[in-house]
Amino acid sequence: MRYTTFLAQLHALLEPRAYLEIGIRNGMSLSLARCPAVGVDPAYRVTAELSGEVHLHRTTSDEFFAREKPLAALRDPVDLAFIDGLHLFEFALRDLINTERHCSPASVIVFDDVLPRTVDEAARQRHTSAWTGDVYSVIPTLQRHRPDVTTVLVDTQPTGLMLVLGLDPADSTLVDEYDAIMAEFRRPDPQPVPRQILERSAVHAPERILEAGFWSVLREQRNAPAPDFHRRLREQLAADLGEAYAPMDN
């Protein structure tokens, strides 16, 4: 399944009230939104037909989030975000940090390009046609430094998606440990891509994810917040997927 097909069905399942996209390019994925949406990209060239209330910002995500009330156009917390910006680990991590601040615990952040197919495709210095960069490093970073959130890898084409669930907008761990994280996970080329990533042995079929029961838990929490939400979410993920996250070799 192509990632855009998965995203279209994800919008239908989650029914977000507010949507954020970082890295909109031609607007194909942004066009899937049926709610107030914000798109950020310093060089977008939208050719897709956009509908509804869409706010476009031709700037970098760092500059955008440095503004006072950058998401004032959205009247609700970001229920769904798609991060597909510059394919370098530090930018992807900062996009996650900044996006989570504008989410709720029931929100979903989706990363593109987390499953490079070759070491060359994962290079920080691009030298291939298809390019993921070292975005994959966000996966072990969250495993090590944010075990409170759940990551689910999805085997979409061409280069996979990652769902980040069970968010905590007040958590400052990634900011507090940012320099240490960069020292630990930002590495020179050639990238030491974990074998599980290259072999896609720790990922879930997109159909299985779309049929899972945890979407209803997220929607219920959004409509009627409960104090035991994170426990319920993890229990449902375990029921749906066995292990929501499979550890990787670093």
Rounded to an integer, the average pLDDT of 140-160 is: 97
User: Stretch 215-233: mean pLDDT, rounded?
Assistant: 95
Residue 230 structure tokens: 């994170």
pLDDT tens readout for residues 99-112: 999 999 999 999 99
Predicted pLDDT at 202: 83
- Does residue 119 surpass a pLDDT of 50? yes
Nearest to 132 by CA among 151, 148, 147, 119: 119
pLDDT, the chain, mean: 95
* Residue 8 token pair: 């279209």
Instruction: Show the tokens assigned to 139.
Output: 């996966």
- Please state whether the peptide bond connecting residue 194 to the residue before it is cis, i.e. omega within 30 degrees of 0: no
Residue ranges of domains in the chain, CATH in brackets: 3-241 (3.40.50.150)
pLDDT digits (tens, 9 = 90+) for 92-101: 999 999 999 9
How many Å is the maximal CA-CA distance in the chain?
48
pLDDT at 243: 58
Percent of the chain's residues with pLDDT above 90: 94
Residues 6+ apart with CB under 8 A from 174: 93, 96, 97, 141, 145, 146, 181
Query: Would you state the pLDDT for residue 204?
Result: 96
What local confidence, expressed as pLDDT, does residue 242 receive? 84
What average pLDDT does range 35-53 have in this prediction? 96
| pLDDT higher than 90, residue 177 | yes
**Mean pLDDT (whole number) for 7-27:** 97
Q: Which of 187, 244, 218 is nearest to 10 (CA)?
A: 218
Q: What is the mean pLDDT of residues 3-17?
A: 97
Mean pLDDT of 130-148: 97
Residue-level pLDDT at 87: 97
Average pLDDT over residues 219-248: 84
pLDDT at 249: 44
Read off the pTM: 0.96
